[in-house]
Amino acid sequence: MSNSKNPIVKKGLQLFNFLKKTYQAWDSTDPFARSAIIAYYTLFSLPSLLMIITSIASYFVGAEAVQGRIHTEIERFISKDVALAIEDMIGNVTLENDNWITLIISIAALIYGATGVFFQMKITMNLIWNVTEKKQNFKRMLINRAIAFGMVLVLGFMLLVAFVVTLGLNLLTEYLGQYAPEITIVFAEILRLLISFIFITGLFAAMFKILPDVIMSYRTTFLGASITAVLFLIGESLLGYYFTSSNPASVYGGAASIVLILLWVNYTCLILFFGAQITVQYALIKRHKIIPNKHAKLAHSDEMAALNEKKKKLDQDRRNALRLLNNPEEAPKKKKS
């Protein structure tokens, strides 16, 4: 049997071609520059973003519990020093003021800062999905900021859900640990990994569904989010090993925490954008319906319309030339001087 007829080889070639096409599409969007831009915005958005998220979740479970959860997650993803630095950032952001005008301005600045990173991410997502906004004015800018703020609220809600689920998991493992401690440890680790996967998949699904100006099926959204979550978890492990073994920010001294935040967000965005490109390429192969919403259009629709008009004009000129060639008497006669 030849290799071309071998189903395993055929599937392997299809997967290779799919990944090759995905990489080429991913590389064409200049992901490194766009990830750096989002990392820059994240650095300035982080205090406001975390304060809003903390405030939402703290309303239900208490500020100390939420801040402890954030500290644990950041320490797990990046490092203990970065977790402490971010905890200080949250503590330094305050809205206490007797002047209500100043308070309103502070809240507006807080929301504007918190939505900056998602606003920039929305621009990149539209580029990946090959759509552009029909109108770019002040009203549309406010709508985009509102959409970005919606992602902030989603983050706060998901943090609350994750906190409640983790609390329930801890209670369950403590109970089961009384009867089978060794099995319980393995069970708890598997369950935590599963919860992390579900949480991250839900977050990416929300980003794919809310941020880009496209309409796509939930099937496509969750499939792409699941693949991106797997890539993220693998990348998280590799980044954790890289940060621990090589300590890339050690040469920056007091600015090491800032550098680590920038590096982590930069690498994470690269993974996110690649996952988004996988979603787009898979949807194209499977012919899943993805169309721009009412506020957007295909990125090259104006150019295509101009090309079609030019083609129509060329076709008309060609027909006129053929008609004059076959009927020379119809050609306009020159006036005698």
Q: Which residues contact 49 (CB under 8 A, 6 or more apart)?
A: 113, 114, 117, 152, 155
Structure tokens belonging to residue 318:
């060609």
The dihedrals phi and psi of 133, each to the nearest 5 degrees, come to -75, 145
> Residue 39 has what pLDDT?
85
Domain definitions of the chain by residue range? 33-293, 295-327
Report which secondary-structure segment, H or E, holds 298. Answer: strand 296-298
User: What are the helix (H) ranges across 78-217?
Assistant: 80-92, 100-128, 138-177, 181-210
The dihedrals phi and psi of 215, each to the nearest 5 degrees, come to -115, 120
CB 17: neighbour CB atoms within 10 A? Answer: 11
Cα 302 from Cα 125, distance rounded (Å): 20
Structure tokens belonging to residue 248:
């890339």
Backbone Cα Rg of the chain: 27
The β-bridge partners of 297 are 132
Q: In 3D, which of 159, 240, 245, 241 has the Cα closest to residue 200? A: 159
The β-bridge partners of 214 are 292
The dihedrals phi and psi of 334, each to the nearest 5 degrees, come to -75, 140
> Residue 29 has what pLDDT?
86
Cα 299 from Cα 127, distance rounded (Å): 8
> Residue 2 has what pLDDT?
46
> Residue 209 has what pLDDT?
86
> If the chain, 337 residues long, is cut into consecutive pieces of 10 residues, what is the mean pLDDT of each piece?
67 86 89 88 77 72 70 72 73 59 68 78 88 78 79 70 69 70 75 83 87 85 89 82 70 72 85 89 81 76 59 72 68 54
